[in-house]
Amino acid sequence: MASHENGAGTQDVLLEIRDLKTHFALDEGTVRAVDGVDLDVRRRQVVGVVGESGCGKSMTAMSIMRLIPPPGQIVEGEIRFHRPFDERPDAKDIVDLAQFESNDRQLRDIRGNQISMVFQEPMTALSPVRTVGKQIAEAILLHQDVNKAEARDISIETLARVKMPNPEQRFDDYPFQLSGGMRQRAVIAMALACRPQLLIADEPTTALDVTTEAQILDLMRELQAEYDMAILYITHNLGVVAEMAEEVVVMYLGKVVERCDVDSIFYNPKHPYTKGLLNSIPRLEDVLQDKREKLNAIEGMVPSSFQRLSGCAFHPRCPDFMPGVCDEAEPQLIQLEEGHAVRCHLYT
C-alpha cells in the first residue's frame, strides 16, 4: 500500500493539509475561521504556527483532531495523514481525516493514539473528580492491548518520562492536588502515553509562569527527540517559535500568509504582516539606547470575523498597501525560493 502520489520532495510526509476550510455558520453570518490552509508536517519535524488571536491557528489544530465545536464544520479540503501501516518504515496508509464523521471509529483509533493534542489550559484539561492516573491509563487501555496493571505501569513510566516528581504517588492524586506545571506535565504524559507520531500542542505554556514555561519547552524538545515524533506547535509567541520550531507557518484571518524555515522568518521575513509581528517585539538594545518610547504595534485592528474583505485580507492594515491591487485581487501563496512561500502582491 506504499503510496507516493504527492511526488518528489515529500519524502517522510506525515500530515498534508490541502485547502482546508472550517466555517462556522452562525445566525449573524458565516465565520471563516480556517479559510484555505495548506500545511505540511514531515516526520520528526517541529512546525510552529503563529498568528494573532482569532487567526484560525487553534481551529486548524481542532480540525486535524476533528474536535471543532459546533456549529463549526470542515466545508472543504483534505487532511491527509500518513500513518505507519506496519513495521516497514516506508509502508503507509493514507487517510483523509476530513472525510470522517467526528465520532467515527477509525478516527477515534487515530485520535489519542497516533495524533494527540496538548491543550492550552492545564487547569481545566483534567476532570477534577478522577485521578490523574485513571485519566492517563484510559487512553492506553483504549488503544493498546494491555490489562489494567500494565496500563498503570505504562502511565507511571510516562509520568516519569515527563519528569513528574514521585510519579507513583501522583498517579493516584487528583488534579487539584497538583500545581499548574505538574498538571501540564500530566496532560503531556496523557498525550504521549500511546507514543503518537504527531503531537499537536495548542499554546501549552500560555497559562504557565515563565519559569515553568521554560521547563515545559525544554521537556517538549527532549521528548520530541526521544519519542521520534513530529510536533505542530501553535503559539502567538515568536520567542517560543524561535526556540521550538524548525519550520514556521504564519497565519492571518484563516489563511497562511507566509511559510518558511525558522531562520528565514527572523532574518528574511517577506510578508508585511510577518514583518509587523517581528517589529512589535520590543528589543532590549532599543530600550537601553532610548531609541523608542512606545511599543510598535501593527496598525488597526483585526477585522470583524463576519466581514469578508475583497483582495488581500491584510490590506487595511498593511504599510505597503497598493491601491487598486491589494484591495482587488486575492493574492496566491507563491513559492519565492525552496521552502519559502508567501501570500502577497509585493512578490508577484
Residues that bind other proteins (CB under 8 A): 65, 67, 69, 103, 108-113, 116-117, 119-121, 123-131, 135, 138-139, 142-143, 174, 176-177, 187, 190-191
- Name, in order, each residue with C-beta under 8 angstroms of 203's C-beta and a sequence gap of 6 or more: 58, 120, 234, 235, 236, 237
| Min dist. Cβ of residue 306 to other proteins (A) | 21
Would you say 117 or 341 has its CB closer to other proteins?
A: 117
| Min dist. Cβ of residue 191 to other proteins (A) | 8
Distance between CA atoms of residues 210 and 60, nearest Å: 26
Distance between CA atoms of residues 314 and 54, nearest Å: 14
| Min dist. Cβ of residue 344 to other proteins (A) | 35
| Min dist. Cβ of residue 287 to other proteins (A) | 37
Using omega within 30 degrees of 0 as the cis cutoff, is the peptide bond preceding 71 cis? yes
Would you say 55 or 68 has its CB closer to other proteins?
A: 68
Would you say 128 or 323 has its CB closer to other proteins?
A: 128
Distance between CA atoms of residues 119 and 124, nearest Å: 9
Alpha helices in 172-209 (DSSP H): 180-192
User: What SS3 state is found at 231?
Assistant: strand
> Helix, strand, coil: what percent of the chain each, to 5?
35, 25, 40
| Min dist. Cβ of residue 332 to other proteins (A) | 33
User: What SS3 state is found at 289?
Assistant: coil
- Name, in order, each residue with C-beta under 8 angstroms of 172's C-beta and a sequence gap of 6 or more: 131, 132, 133
Would you say 232 or 312 has its CB closer to other proteins?
A: 232
| Min dist. Cβ of residue 142 to other proteins (A) | 6
Would you say 129 or 225 has its CB closer to other proteins?
A: 129
Would you say 191 or 253 has its CB closer to other proteins?
A: 191
Would you say 195 or 317 has its CB closer to other proteins?
A: 195
Distance between CA atoms of residues 207 and 267, nearest Å: 29
| Min dist. Cβ of residue 288 to other proteins (A) | 41
Local structure of residue 12 (DSSP, 8 states): T
Q: Going edge to edge, which strands form the sheet with 72-84?
A: 29-42, 13-26, 72-84, 92-96
User: What SS3 state is found at 86?
Assistant: coil
Local structure of residue 317 (DSSP, 8 states): G
| Min dist. Cβ of residue 111 to other proteins (A) | 4
Phi, psi of 52 (to 5 degrees): -70, 170
Would you say 176 or 347 has its CB closer to other proteins?
A: 176
On whether the CB atoms of residues 254 and 270 are closer than 8 A, the answer is no
